Amino acid sequence: MRLRKFYRFFSIWRVPVYFHWSAVLMFVVLVAGSPFFGLPLLFIVLGLFSVLLVHELGHALLVRQFGYEVERISIYPIHGLCHYDEPYSEYEDSVIAWGGVLAQLLLFIPASAFLFFFGNTPFGSVNVLLVIFSYINAMSIVFNLVPAPGLDGSKTWRLIPILVKAKWSLIQHRRKRLFKK
């Protein structure tokens, strides 16, 4: 991937965040249209990019927890990528894949709880963010967990058989120790 199609705007946790030219163009067009279509349009763009960024930061956090290096985060108009060192095991790869969805839950739970207990606010822009962080975010989580190539679901669901196999091995090991005595 050539980085000249990307623009670096900032870093988080010493991880450079790049935006693809098409994401920058979409952002500029929608921001330019906000005076004509209203301020909530600006908050739609900010909310959607926030969900993408939080998702990728979730991956980055777990990558770092396993001791790997995060090269960069790339944001596109409707998806993002966290570029990092290849994990040594399928288990680590699967756990890292769960990081994005778990990070999205940090937006989903408070936004959904607020809407459930208090409903809409008198501020349209805040309501837009609440809807994006709850309903749109939930749809993104479900879509991401579809076990299809290119989506996190292709790696996340591998964790279940890995854990079952590990638990079974532990049971077998305990049985062998028990019957040796």
**What tens digit of pLDDT does each residue of 108-128 get?**
999 999 999 999 999 988 999
Integer Cα distance of 148 and 155 in angstroms: 9
Whose CA is closest to 138, among 97, 109, 98, 99?
Answer: 109
What residues pair up with 73 in beta bridges, in sequence order?
17, 82
Q: What angle, rounded to 10 degrees, do the helices at 40-65 and 21-37 form? A: 150
Q: Provide the token pair at 92.
A: 């680590």
Question: Who's near 116: CB < 8 A, 6+ residues apart?
Answer: none
Integer Cα distance of 18 and 101 in angstroms: 21
How far is the CA of 32 from the CAs of 26, 28, 155, in angstroms? 10, 6, 39
**What letter would DSSP give residue 39?**
T
| Cα torsion 78, 68, 57, 73: sign | negative
Q: What's the angle, vertex CA 25, arms to CA 140 and CA 52, rounded to 5?
A: 20
Question: Who's near 66: CB < 8 A, 6+ residues apart?
Answer: 87, 92, 95, 96
pLDDT for position 100:
97
pLDDT for position 87:
92
Query: What are the pLDDT digits (tens) for 70-91?
Result: 999 999 999 999 999 999 999 9
Integer Cα distance of 156 and 59 in angstroms: 12
pLDDT for position 16:
97
- The answer to whether the pTM exceeds 0.75 is yes
Residue ranges of the chain with pLDDT lower than 70?
1-3, 180-181
pLDDT for position 181:
57
What is the number of other CB atoms lying within 10 angstroms of the CB of residue 154? 15
